[in-house]
Amino acid sequence: MSTRLNKEYFETKRKHKEGYGKKKFTLKKVIFNLIITFIIITLYNIFNNYLSKKAEQNKKENSSSYILIQ
């Protein structure tokens, strides 16, 4: 009984290892990854531009208020 289970266990493990390395990188996955990457880059650029404009606006406001205080 145990030798049969041992054989089944190791055979299943071997089949799993063989199938594990054979995952294909299909065109569908490539296109999906490119779309996700493009969306992330676009969102980063929008957010970065927004924050840089906000920082410039704050610098202008702070410099003008600093002149008025003195």
In the chain, how long is the greatest CA-to-CA distance?
93
Q: Is the pTM of this model over 0.75?
A: no
| Both tokens assigned to 64 | 């003008």
Distance CA 59, CA 50 (A): 14
pLDDT in tens, 13-44: 777 766 665 667 788 999 999 999 999 999 99
Distance CA 61, CA 68 (A): 11
